[in-house]
Amino acid sequence: MTGVAVIGAGHSVFGTRRDVNIPELCWESMKPALEKANLEPKDIDFFVVGNLGIWSSELAVPSIMAEYADLAPKGSMRVEAACATGSAAVRVGYTTIKSGLADIVMVLGIEKMQESPNPSVIELIGRFGSYFWEFENFGLTFPGYYALHASAYMMKYGAKEEDLGKIAVKNHFYGAKNPFAQFRKEIDVATVMKGPYVAWPLKLFDCSPITDGSACIILASEKKVKELGIEEKVWILSQGVGTGTANLSKREEFTSLASARYAAEQAYKLAGIEDPVKQLDGANVHDCFTIAEIMAYEDLGFCKRGEGYKLAREGQTYIGGRIPVNVDGGLKAKGHPIGATGVSMAVEAYKQLLSKADKGRQADIKNGRWLTHNVGGTGHYTYVTIYGLEKR
Ligand code: COA
């Protein structure tokens, strides 16, 4: 089967984007991605759009973009996997090329969440848990779900609210260096601790925000990479996908996500990774809430179970530490436009591996491998993808 490479990547500014409509926001990331790949819309064989869309005006985004960017009549698809929607879109692009059905696929992630008021958005996100058992009868929404994870974790391992806060401090530190981030302000633990509680023990700064934004990558087959003479590229070495139960009461534990462990195991096996800390140069993990990043460290094997909060406490996931994580600001500070997040992670993997990240947030690239971990729901879906400079 052919190798699949990312040959172009683009990113819009994340945040409150009342200045643009949906096609304009998409074009902000599509244009630079096409330019990097030195391609035009007519060169795309197939395109896939990651978009939840339930809170915004246009639901037929592939068709809107076919019209706006002159992509018609090429084939397209809109995909959804809750907060892992962007990675599901990458999956469709990756497997379409792997199967030989296309040579060039554009993967676009877009969300314009702020077209609806926050309480409606929070309610709609809540429906990506388990509507019948948890939302309708008990009113659980996502801050509440992750508060359950956080309180279970704190009780089991003795982590403190300040440890969670350290994740927010790190991600804001790097978000401040990312021109595309929603929050570009450094904070300290005292700021996190002073924030209002959203769902105990999670406070305002433990949460990712509600965001508008888009991200885009162009994928190409090995044959096309050669034909086009593309020099700047990163390969998708592997992708693991896991699915969890919708209803939390059907899960064995609350301090780890089984779907993430499963996806990681698959991705590591396919990419030949036995020791992620030694073999990766860094990672983007799904920090929708600070506790989620700590659980990700453990689910991905960056440390032993129960020790993730110590990595946070000791600052081991800054550049220069054990393994750099979310050095683009993560969902916490860069923002979390749901359909775009997984694609944004791919853009970051591309930039980091090609040493093109902004000043102050470029990791050392020694192994030429970067990981992305994108969770939908509370572990309903997890995608773990390994990107590399060298094809396997
Ligand atoms: N981190 C830091 N600051 C935040 C923030 C966040 N996550 N969210 C909002 N703010 C700031 C705003 O910039 C604003 O600041 P200002 O007054 O200086 O302008 C202030 O807090 C109030 O913003 P607002 O948009 O009114 O917040 P809100 O109270 O309606 O919503 C949350 C805050 C945390 C409840 C909401 O962002 C949320 O639900 N986040 C989680 C989203 C989610 O579940 N995503 C899916 C995850 S899987």
Q: Is 213 in the pocket of ligand 1 (CB under 6 A)?
A: no
Separation between Cα atoms, residue 187 and residue 12, nearest integer Å: 24
Q: What average pLDDT score do residues 65-91 get? A: 98
What is the distance between the alpha carbons of residues 94 and 88, in angstroms, rounded to a whole number? 10
Task: Identify the H or E element spanning 48.
Answer: strand 46-50
Query: What is the total count of domains within the chain?
Result: 1
Of all residues in the chain, what percent carry a pLDDT higher than 70? 100
Q: Identify which of 2, 115, 104, 12 has the alpha carbon closest to the alpha carbon of residue 341.
A: 12
Provide the residue count of the chain. 392
Residue 65 predicted with pLDDT over 90 = yes
Instruction: Say if 350 falls within a structural domain.
Output: no
**Structural domain includes residue 376:** no
| Closest by Cα among 10, 1, 21 to 107 | 10
Residue 123 located in a structural domain: no
DSSP label at 136?
I
- Is residue 147 one of the residues assigned to a domain? no
198: left (phi over 0), alpha (psi -120 to 50) or beta: alpha
In a domain, 61, yes or no: yes
Residue with the smallest CA separation from ligand 1 atom 24 is: 118
Q: State pLDDT tens for residues 236-274.
A: 999 999 999 999 999 999 999 999 999 999 999 999 999
**Is residue 392 over pLDDT 90?**
no
**In-domain check, residue 94:** yes
Neighbours of 150 (CB within 10 A): 27
CATH number at residue 79: 3.40.47.10
Residues forming beta bridges with residue 6, ordered by sequence position: 219, 234
Q: Does residue 334 lie in a domain region?
A: no
DSSP 83: B
**216-243 CB burial, b ≥16 within 10 A, e <16:** bbbbbbbebbeebebeebbbbbbbbbbb
Global pTM exceeds 0.75:
yes
Query: Is a pLDDT exceeding 90 seen at residue 120?
Result: yes
What phi and psi values does residue 234 have, to the nearest 5 degrees? -130, 145
Q: Which residue range is the domain that position 221 belongs to?
A: 4-116+210-228
Binning pLDDT at 50, 70 and 90, where does residue 383 land? very high
As a whole number of angstroms, the distance between CA 107 and CA 372 comes to: 16
CA 198–ligand 1 middle distance (angstroms): 9
Q: Which atom of ligand 1 is nearest to the CA of 288?
A: 47
Distance 28 CA to ligand 1 centre (A): 24
Distance CA 358, CA 352 (A): 9
**In angstroms, rounded to a whole number, what is the distance separating the alpha carbons of residues 372 and 67?**
32
What's the rounded Cα separation, in Å, for the pair 217 and 105?
Answer: 9
Q: What is the pLDDT of residues 348-375, one digit of tens each?
A: 999 999 999 999 999 999 999 999 999 9
Q: Which of 212, 209, 208 is nearest to 53 (CA)?
A: 212
Q: How far is CA 42 from CA 104, 124, 131, 167, 266, in A?
A: 11, 36, 42, 43, 35
- Give 300-336 pLDDT, tens digit per residue: 999 999 999 999 999 999 999 999 999 999 999 999 9
Assigned domain for 338 exists? no
Pocket test for ligand 1, best of 14, 118, 184, 203 (most atoms within 8 A of CB): 118
For 130, the 3-state DSSP assignment is: coil
pLDDT of residue 56: 97
Whole-number Cα distances in Å, 185 to 162, 168, 169, 175: 19, 11, 10, 7
